[in-house]
Structure 1
């Protein structure tokens, strides 16, 4: 592959670089130096033409759609007293209640010390990704998360519940779009 193609591939493999390119806020020279090292875009001897990489980034930016966000119409609520438990597909917590979320061998049940944040409405994987990214920035540890149909579930520690609701509402108000 050419250096330009390698640079595009390296940017695509690092979504934050792609987002910064699309938003027009990337320092091309600094990003070129970082990518040369991080993605090994040099000649294999530690030498990289960072000017050529920066130029490839500028040209790639011209091909990308502008960064944009869209609000998702969703109702966000909090449910206390949930837990993540092993699930064999049967009665997971001794009650008749259905799990809020089931993934592989685990389930989020209405019995525990954690808090579930539920968003119902226009949610999808992109909305879940936006919520998870913002929760990470807010230093909120996520115990479980998933989305199916029109429901998004994120489980956090009890003390982080109120913060997680605010973060989820803000994230759903500005979910990044793919620009198409």
Structure 2
């Protein structure tokens, strides 16, 4: 494989570098040195920098788009390994409601000490990925997250609920567009 192909592969394995290249925010020499060390690229840093510059020319410009979605907060949720057991003995109080999110045998259910951020509308995996990245940058720990159809869910601690709503709303105002 050529050094240029190895460089492209190394960038694709590190989406933040690809996004920075697309946005024009990269010092190519610094990125080349970093990739040489982190991705074990065997080549001259100047050649890697040149490969980065050529790759940048092939990438679409970094753009975002606003999404139309309603964001709300639902307190008092938990994550149950077996949601049927979590609901035992709680008839009539909403415990039999469908979970907000289910992955395998685990589910986000009513009754717990966490808060679910629910966005409904024009949401998808790109919106979730951006929201998760922003929540991580804001040091908000996400216990569970998922997206399906027109719903996106992020479960955070009760203490972080209000901040998480603001972060998710901001993410939905500028979801990165990846045109290929």
Normalised by the length of structure 1, the TM-score is: 0.94
Aligned length: 174
Q: 1:99 aligns to what?
A: 99
Q: 1:82 aligns to what?
A: 77
1:5 is the counterpart of 2:19: no
Q: Deviations over 1:26-82 (max 9, x none)?
A: 00000000001111111xxxxx30000000000011111000111111000000000
Alignment of 1:135-154 (within 5 A): 135-154=135-154
Q: 2:65 aligns to what?
A: 70
Q: 1:41 aligns to what?
A: 41
- Report the more deviating stretch, 135-144 or 90-99: 90-99
Deviation at 1:179, TM superposition (A): 2.8
Alignment of 1:139-178 (within 5 A): 139-178=139-178
Q: Deviations over 1:1-30 (max 9, x none)?
A: 000010011011100100011001100000
Q: Deviations over 1:84-123 (max 9, x none)?
A: 01126x4642322111111112110011010000000000
Q: 2:118 aligns to what?
A: 118
Deviation at 1:134, TM superposition (A): 0.3
Q: 1:20 aligns to what?
A: 20
Q: Which runs of structure 1 show a deviation greater than 3 angstroms over 4 or more consecutive aligned residues?
A: none
1:55 to 41, 50, 53: 50
Q: Which runs of 5+ in 2 are unaligned?
A: 89-94
CA contact (8 A) 1:117 1:153 kept: yes
Q: Which runs of 5+ in 1 are unaligned?
A: 43-47
